[in-house]
Every structure is written in structure tokens, then in C-alpha cells.
Amino acid sequence: MFSTFLIALREGLEAALIIGILVAYLVRSNQRRALLSLWTGVGIAVISSLAFGAFLTFTSTQLSVAGEQVFAGTTSIVAVVLVTYMVFWMKRIARSLKNELQSKVESAIPLGKLALISASFFAVAREGLETALFIFSNFKTVSTDSAPALGLILGLAAAIGLGIAIYKQSVKINLGKFFTVTGTALLIVAGGVLSHGIYEFQEFGALPGANSYVWNWVGANDVISTLLAGTIGIGTTLTWLQLIIWACFLTLTLRAYLAPKKAVSQKL
């Protein structure tokens, strides 16, 4: 539940802030008539993201056991690559995001409604499609009860509420610290998703060591298994290959993500 809540909160708030920036720009520049086109693009992006999530779920249920293992492993690794890229991208572009979005909308308005719909669609769809893929992969990692779905709903609700409050300036939060903390947590969750993807390929036979366990807690306590899967994404079974790749991923990404900006600039 915690991991899906975190994903929905972080990605949902990013989308909400993007929409808020676009809406605020149109309102301040006395171009309220363009709001309909803006919301049309946002609506299409949301529907496309939901459709993509449904497609992934449907496809997964129609495959054979071996096909589902390959599909789950592939989507997990792709999701980790995209989320890792987006976490670092947001850190790099956060300060200039507002100006970049406003520039795109300003350029789209003279070209007509279709251009503005496209601009708002692509601004939101990037977050939506990435979120759908990552949540689908995370659902495969965590337990199959209703807790992950509840975390998703609560996370999206919290993101929308925070986005509206920030837009109305009724709530002020340090977005830099917020995205740093949630970005760190997302990388930890991504490490668990990556570990799950590796295990899927091990079960399929594409990677070795499927039966070489670091631990294999048969009949593990439900609380322990839920806590592990719902936070760091590591289940009650873990192979040595999973552990090595998981540890390497977290070491490299967290070290780079949390490195002081001065240290990064000196290296460059």
C-alpha cells in the first residue's frame, strides 16, 4: 500500500503542478477561452493513461505462464528505466519547468485549439503513461490484495488535493525538499520493482540462479511479507542475483541523486 500511495502521490502531484502552471498562465494572460482546449488535452491524457494501464493488465492475463513471466519482467525493467530517468530529469529541470511550460503554451495558442490540446496532452501524458506502467509493475511486486489499490486511490486523492491547495496558495510546501524525499523513496521502490523483474526472468530461465536463495521464508508472517513488499519491494524470497542487482542499483542511483550540486558540477 505504501509504495503505490507514494507513486500516486509523487507522480500525481507532478501532473497537478504542471496543470496548475498552465491554468495559471492562461488566467493571468486573460486567455480563459483557451482553458477548454487545455482541459480537453488533460482529459485525453488521463483517459490514455487509464487505457494504457487497462491494456497492460488485460495483456498480462491473456498470456501463458512463460509469456507472463517475460512480459512482467520486461515491463518491470522498462518501468524502472523510465522512472529513474524522470526522477533525475525532474531534479535537473525543476527550476526551469515553469518557464518551459509557459513557453510551449504561448507558442501553441496562435496555432489554434488543436495545438493547445496537443501541448497540454503531451505535458500530462508523459507523467500519466509512466505512472500507469510503474504502478502496473509495482502491483506485480506487492501483494495481490486490495491494499495496493487503496494506496493508489489515496495517493491520487492526496495529490489532487495538494495540487489545488498549492494553486490557490492556501498551502505552502517546500517543493524542492518534497521532490528530493519522494524521489529518493521512488528510487528505493524502483529497486524492488527491478528485483522482481530479475526474478521473473530467472523463473523463465533467461537468467541463472533461480533456486539460489539468500533467504526463502516459507510460510512467512503476513505482516512481515506485506511490510517488505509494500515498502522496499523485496518479498519473502530473494535470490543472490536479485540482491546483487538491487544493491548495485540503489548504491549507484541514490549516490548520484543525493550528491550535492557543487560536487556534481566539479566532476563535470
Contact 168, 107 (CB under 8 A): no
Task: State the pLDDT at residue 78.
Answer: 93
Cβ contacts of residue 157 below 8 Å, gap of 6+? none
Task: State the pLDDT at residue 42.
Answer: 92
Task: State the pLDDT at residue 34.
Answer: 87
Taking the alpha carbons of 6, 11, 17, 20 in that order, is the dihedral positive or negative? negative
Radius of gyration of the chain (CA): 20
Q: What is the pLDDT along the chain (268 residues), one digit of tens a residue?
A: 667 777 888 888 888 888 888 888 888 888 888 889 999 999 999 999 999 989 998 998 898 989 988 998 999 899 999 999 988 988 887 777 778 787 888 888 788 888 888 988 988 888 888 888 888 887 766 655 556 677 788 888 888 888 888 777 756 677 778 788 888 888 988 888 898 889 899 989 899 988 888 877 766 556 666 566 655 666 677 889 988 999 999 999 999 998 876 544 444 3
Name the residue among 262, 11, 259, 264 with its Cα closest to residue 134.
11
Task: State the pLDDT at residue 249.
Answer: 95
For residue 121 the three cell numbers come to 496532452
* Whole-number Å distance between alpha carbons of 13 and 88: 16
Grid cell 500516486 in the structure block, residue = 8
For residue 81 the three cell numbers come to 528505466
* Whole-number Å distance between alpha carbons of 109 and 96: 20
Taking the whole predicted model, whether its pTM rises above 0.85 is answered as no
For residue 21 the three cell numbers come to 502552471
Grid cell 518534497 in the structure block, residue = 178
Contact 152, 135 (CB under 8 A): yes
